Amino acid sequence: MKINRWVTLLGVISLLFLHGKTSVGAQQKTIVLGTTTSTQDSGLFEVLIPIFEKKTGYFVKTIAVGSGQAMVLGQRGEADLLLVHSPAAEKKFVAEGCGINRRLVMHNDFVIVGPSEDPAKVKGLRSASESFKRIASAKALFLSRADKSGTHVKEMDIWKRSGINPEGEKWYQQTGLGMGQTLNVAAEKKGYTLADRGTYLALKKNLELSILVEGDAILLNAYHVIEINPARWPKVNAAGARAFANFMVSRETQGIIKTFGVDKFGSPLFFPDAGKKEEELGR
Amino acid sequence: MHNARCTINQLVPILEAKDLEVERGGVLILSIPFLSIQQGETLSLIGPNGAGKTTLLQTLSYLLKPFQGEILFRGEVVNSNCPVFEYRRKLAMVFQEPLLFDTTVFNNVASGLKIRRMKKEEVRHIVEENLDRFGISHLSHRSARTLSTGEAQRTSLARAFAIQPEILLLDEPFASLDPPSRESLIEDLERILRRTRTTTIFATHDRLEALRLSDRMAVMNRGKILQIGPPEEVMNQPVDEFVASFVGVETVLTGKVVRSDGGTFSVSISGQEVEAIGDALLEEVVTLCIRPENVTLSSPSSHEITSARNVFLGRVVRITPLGFYHKVQLQCGFPLVAYVTNQSLRNLSLTEGKEVKASFKATAIHVVRRQGR
Amino acid sequence: MDLILEGIKKALWLLLTLDPEVRGVTLLSIKVSGTATLISLLIGISIGTIVALSEFRGKRFFVSLINTGMGLPPVVVGLFVTIFLWRNGPLGFFGILYTPIAMILAQAIIATPIVMGITLAAIQQLPKRLQLQILSLGATRLQMVWILIKEAKLPLLAAVMAGFGGVISEVGASMMVGGNIKGYSRVLTTATVMETSRGNFDMAIALGIILLLLAYIINLILTQIQQRERPR
């Protein structure tokens, strides 16, 4: 009878899965890493994670979302550790007892990109907030990720410093998308946006956008690892989180970060900072 | 239940229904105080649409629930204590639509046997036998969807016979067929029923089908059986106006063939010979149907030359006015009904008790051969 | 236009060289969506048939619920499944969030109402007397249901196509409950989204083409069966 064939097929398929890495017993061997789309899009983890997994036997599940969402996952104990770049929010996160052991891993920097015609005439400026002022007064199109990601938080910080509230302005458009897609929209609409250098470099070949402003201290983008507080969330894989965090600041890993992207883009995407203090960055 | 087969008592009816009542939406749609069917007989249910024939068939086969009353199979009450499907497995039902399954003709005919989990070899044997019976062996591997209506209904009947049912229930199985395929299928079914002697309950609205296939006839209307008995009795002596208007239209005569030669034959009816067209065997019992509009009345003294072969002298029993014409019942040694126009009624000055000459052509007689029944 | 041509070239290259990563992603897509479809067939066909064959109070309401469920937005399903499967959520003890099993679960939830709705319609459009005919052939109730399902096999094939087509092309729920983890829960749709945001349009187009090809082949096979069964 036909039904028997279906049942057999179903059985075979479920067996296939049981053979996989999904069995519940392996729980403590998996680590859920909450991180940002910008790090995933750069491809850095595809180099680092296999090395870590091979060394330790852990299985890392990278959940790439915005920094904001990643921190909500951490807050609820749904992730074991975070690798994020939203310093002010991170400090609050640790202060509230959600996370422990916040350590600086690396940085890259943000750049203001836009069409080479540069209608707001910002090219060559040193100050990010000055550039934003010009964009606002020229009513030149600006695209915001508006997704509470680290990049978005940084962008809002700059607006605040320039004394402008762009919310609701016609020239200020919110995409609600990740970095890569927002860059694509900006290129398509010939608008300005704030981007991390790594993602911009990775996408550069398909974009008609140029770097217009860079080098301001406020544009530095620091990545920290934060372990989720196991005292608060007992189900968290604390040992795994510690192991991965240690791996990220280890000499070997820092060495890989230093050269990552050089072969492809001609310059590194990230600068290793393990052991440094946040205040020392950019000097 | 299985032992019952070995000790079949011919005196116990195969199926009995007592105080059967079915109600739908507060309306009584079936009410049968008593009905009994003997082993091997064919009972036809005749009546207009909505008379309750289908309801009765479906109730008898436990397809329609709930109902009140009792059904007895070989003297034992069928109840819902034991699985109803065991009772249903003794029956087979054929509907007006073929209701075939979306598979080959062979698999359709085999379906009832497969439901019974019969062994493959046995199934093949029985299916082939029944395909052959209904002349559809050549269609065995065809998809049921490609069949004509006639072929499909043959398949449906073969499927029912393959079960080798103790009772066969037929619900207007010929109603959707065109006349030629209907005629040939009735012929085949008649032959098969005669051979298998399967007890059959057969619903129809066609008097001639009923007359031809049944031992007894039950006239139904509004959920009730109005009259039940041998077809000639019901047709010639209807108990009320409804039965009369539905089945009592024609004169139905049964007799033995006393002479037969190439194309015409004579039948002896109450000592008189009636001549009809067709082939019949000597001594064969046949039924003759004569429509009242084909009977011509004339004055007994007239010497008009008529081409009609059958001329009888009779007495007027009753005259019923029916608008533009009158129905005249005669006694010619056998009962005979004729229609006459109001004009000729006056010309002949017919009254009850008066003598009259009745004539009808041999070609106007519908012959029903009932050999072997 | 160049981009699309590049994408097609890349897709062919990836297909011809049996690129291990693309192969893994494709196989996982088939496995996850195939299993989800099978589960939805088991649940959808059985409940759909039961509802079609029975009369009960509130049947209309239930049927309208099923029909609404046929258009269940995948992201909404993804959201609820995620919340339920969180470690500290009501079903957290299973520990299956960010696994292919969670993706199968979400996709089965998306496909089940589709299969159920089509089954319901398919069984209801069979002639009413067919049930009586089957019972009068001596079938038990279970045998009758099985025969009815076999009779409705052509529209049920459409249910398979609709269900599978719906889940293999779905991205929202898979992304949320699977996490798009490389080599583990990354399927064609989530990989396409990721490659797009990385700006690897050629790769994204290649994955898109493989997805289309896959959906096309599976529908082609099922349509083939369906057409073969059609009356000539």
Which tokens hold the place of A23? 């069995």
Query: pLDDT higher for B126 or A279?
Result: B126
A39 has pLDDT over 90: no
Residues in C closer than 8 angstroms to A184, CB to CB, are 196, 199
| B-interface mutation test, from C136, C140, C230, most B Cβ less than 10 A away | C136
Closest CA to C105 of C178, C169, C46: C178
Q: Is C13 on the interface with A (CB under 8 A)?
A: no
Q: What is the pLDDT of residues C137-170, one digit of tens each?
A: 999 999 999 999 999 988 898 899 899 999 999 9
H-assigned helices in chain A: 2-18, 37-42, 44-56, 67-75, 87-95, 128-138, 150-162, 179-189, 197-203, 238-249, 251-259, 262-265
Claim to verify: residue B116 and residue B229 sit in the same structural domain: yes
CB B53 within 8 A of CB B120: no
Give the per-residue pLDDT at B208: 81
CA A104 – CA A101 distance, rounded (Å): 10
* C-beta neighbour count of B317 within 10 angstroms: 14
Determine the 3-state secondary structure of B38 from DSSP.
coil
Whether residue B145 and residue C231 make contact (CB cut-off 8 A), yes or no, is: yes
Q: What is the mean pLDDT of residues B158-182?
A: 93
Phi-psi region of C199 (alpha: psi -120 to 50; beta: other; left: phi over 0): left
Task: State the pLDDT confidence band at B373, using cuts at 50, 70 and 90.
Answer: very low
Burial class (CB in 10 A: 0-12, 13-18, 19+), B314: buried
| Helix C20-53, helix C153-168: angle, nearest 10 | 140
For residues B59 and B134, membership in a common domain is answered with: yes
Q: Residue C129: helix, strand or coil by DSSP?
A: helix
Please state, in angstroms and rounded to a whole number, the distance separating the CA atoms of residues A8 and A13: 9
Q: Identify the residue whose tokens are 């898979």.
A: C174
Q: Which residue has the tokens 């036998």?
A: B129
CB C108 within 8 A of CB C174: no
Q: At B214, which CATH number?
A: 3.40.50.300
pLDDT of amino acid A10: 55
Region A212-216 average pLDDT: 90
Q: What type of residue sits at position A274?
A: A
Fold of A110-219: D-Maltodextrin-Binding Protein; domain 2 (3.40.190)
Q: Which residues of A touch C (CB under 8 A)?
A: 3, 6, 9-10, 13-14, 16-17, 20-22, 24, 27, 32, 37, 40-41, 43, 45-46, 49, 59, 61-64, 76-78, 177-181, 183-184, 202-203, 205-207, 233, 235
Supply the range of the domain harboring residue B133: 2-249
Given a contact cutoff of 8 angstroms between Cβ atoms, the answer to whether A63 and C179 are in contact is yes
Mapping DSSP to helix (H, G, I), strand (E, B) and coil, where does residue B28 land? strand
pLDDT at A1: 42
C198 with A203: Cβ contact below 8 A? yes
Instruction: Name the domain boundary from B224, B249, B274.
Output: B249
Domain boundaries, chain C: 2-229
Tell me, yes or no, whether chains B and C touch by having 3 or more C-beta pairs under 8 A.
Answer: yes
**CATH architecture label of A26-108+221-280:** 3-Layer(aba) Sandwich (3.40)
Residues B264 and B163 in one domain: no
Sequence-ordered list of residues with C-beta below 8 angstroms from that of A63, at least 6 positions apart, any chain = A32, A33, A34, A35, A70, A73, A79, C98, C179, C181
> What's the pLDDT score for residue B3?
43
- Of the candidates B249, B280, B300, which is a domain's last residue? B249
pLDDT attached to residue C230 = 57
Q: What are the φ and ψ backbone dihedral angles of B179, each rounded to 5 degrees?
A: -50, -45
Together in a domain, B260 and B245: no
Cβ partners under 8 Å of residue A39, min gap 6: A45, A64, A83, A198, A223
**Which pLDDT score, from 0 to 100, does residue A25 have?**
42
Q: Which residues of B touch C129 (CB under 8 A)?
A: 95, 97, 99
Number of independent structural domains in chain B: 2
Measure CB to CB from residue B163 to each of C129, C138, C150 and give the nearest one: C138
Residues B260 and B334 in one domain: yes
Q: pLDDT at position A17, please?
A: 52
d(CA C27, CA B51): 63
Q: Is A273 left (phi over 0), alpha (psi -120 to 50) or beta?
A: alpha
Amino acid in the structure at residue B288: L
Distance from CA of C35 to the nearest CA of A (A): 7
Task: Report chain C residues whose CB lies below 8 A from the CB of B116.
Answer: 138
Scan for tokens 């199968």, then name that residue: C104
- Binary contact (A61, C96; C-beta < 8 A): no
- In this prediction, residue B103 carries a pLDDT of 92
Q: Is the pLDDT of residue A23 over 50?
A: no
CA atoms within 13 A on the CB side of B240: 8
Residues of B in contact with C143 (CB under 8 A): 115
Indicate the pLDDT class of residue A5, thresholds 50, 70 and 90. low
User: DSSP code of C30?
Assistant: H
Binding partners of C (≥3 Cβ pairs within 8 A): A, B
Q: B159–C147: do the CB atoms touch at under 8 Å?
A: no
Do B136 and B214 reside in the same domain of the chain?
A: yes
Q: To the nearest whole angstrom, how far is the Cα of B114 from the nearest Cα of chain C?
A: 10
What's the Cα-to-Cα distance from B336 to each of B282, B332, B346, B362, rounded to whole Å?
24, 7, 20, 15
CA separation for the pair B290, B267 (Å, rounded) = 14
What are the helix (H) ranges across C70-200? Answer: 74-85, 100-124, 128-136, 141-151, 153-168, 172-178, 188-197
Could you read off the pLDDT of B81-120 as tens digits, one per residue? 678 888 999 999 999 999 999 999 999 999 999 999 999 9
Q: Kindly report the pTM of this predicted structure.
A: 0.77
Q: Where are the domains of chain A?
A: 26-108+221-280, 110-219
Parallel, antiparallel, or unpaired for β A142-144 and A192-196?
A: parallel
What does CATH list as the number for C2-229?
1.10.3720.10
Tell me the C-alpha distance between A56 and A50, whole Å: 10
Evaluate whether A26-108+221-280 and A110-219 have a shared fold.
yes
Question: Do B244 and B331 belong together in one domain?
Answer: no
Out of B249, B277, B305, a domain closes at B249
Flag whether residue C37 sits within 8 Å of chain A, measured between CB atoms: no
| Strand pairing class (B27-37; A220-228) | unpaired
> What is the CA A46 to chain-centroid distance, rounded?
14
Identify the closest residue of chain C to B116 by CA–CA distance.
C138
Say what the pLDDT of residue A12 is. 55
Distance CA C151, CA C148 (A): 5
The CATH number of whichever domain residue B308 belongs to comes to: 2.40.50.100
- Structure tokens of A46? 């595809």
Identify the pLDDT of residue A34.
93
Q: Which residues of C touch B58 (CB under 8 A)?
A: 132
Written as six digits, the tokens of B36 are 């009994």
Residue C27 is inside which H or E element, if any?
helix C20-53
pLDDT at C232: 42
Considering Cα of B293, then B299, then B301, then B305, what sign does the dihedral take?
A: negative
Which parts of chain C sit beneath pLDDT 70? 1, 229-232
pLDDT in tens, A106-117: 998 899 999 999
DSSP label of B42: E
C138 with B63: Cβ contact below 8 A: no
Mark yes or no for CB contact C87/A14 under 8 Å: no
Question: For A237, which residue in chain C has the nearest alpha carbon?
Answer: C87
- Specify whether the CB–CB gap between A122 and A112 falls below 8 A: yes
* Cα separation, C121 vs C116, whole angstroms: 9
How much is the pLDDT for B83?
80
Question: Residue B270 — left, alpha, or beta (φ > 0 → left; ψ -120 to 50 → alpha)?
Answer: left
